[in-house]
Amino acid sequence: MSLRIRPASPGDDDILWQMLEPVFRKGESFCRATDVDRAGGLDYWQRGHDVFIAEEDGRVVGSYYIGPNQQGGGAHVCNCGYLTAQDAQGRGIARRLLEASLEEARSRGYRAMQFNFVIATNTRAVATWSAYGFETVGRLPGAYRRPGGEFVDALVMYKTL
């Protein structure tokens, strides 16, 4: 797979929203309202983050963002989010995005990466992050309400870089 990862530009907003919208509507990966509009969805993905786009043979297949997890004394720990286009799932795109983000985080001088709210039922994400050495350092019982009303745990996952 020839995957090119590049910084996002304003011209990527349409394709980003095309990837984000079905994920938000499903409500199983990110803490966003399932009816979030385009402006709100893009704001969530872009504000306070540097966004990257993954292309395969000129076609956008994914994205990730990176930024400090906290400000001040916590700014040495970064946070990232990952997104794979629906028709590109199951092909290792998320792993490649994670690898790129870990490299980017190290190059920026971050000392660790933290995922604040990994929905425990998102088993593919939990397995991927765990395979790359992320530890579950906290469990928030019943912290996420799935669209059907079920309350499930959220995980805090952490990796020293």
What is the C-alpha separation between 132 and 83, in angstroms, rounded?
Answer: 17
The answer to whether 1 and 91 have CB atoms below 8 angstroms apart is yes
pLDDT of 31:
85
Helices vs strands, H then E, count in the chain: 4, 7
What is the C-alpha separation between 158 and 8, in angstroms, rounded?
Answer: 26
The answer to whether 68 and 75 have CB atoms below 8 angstroms apart is yes
Q: Which residue has the higher pLDDT, 31 or 109?
A: 109
Mean pLDDT of the chain: 94
Q: pLDDT tens digits, residue range 78-93?
A: 999 999 998 888 888 9
pLDDT of 1:
58
Q: Please state the domain count of the chain.
A: 1
- Of the candidates 62, 89, 67, the one whose C-alpha atom is nearest the C-alpha of residue 78 is 67
Residues spanned by the domain of 39: 3-160
Q: pLDDT tens digits, residue range 4-21?
A: 999 999 999 999 999 999
CATH code at 78?
A: 3.40.630.30
% of the chain residues with pLDDT over 90:
86
> Residue 2 pLDDT > 90, yes or no?
no
The whole model's pTM is what?
Answer: 0.92
- Which is it for strands 135-145 and 151-160: parallel, antiparallel or unpaired? antiparallel
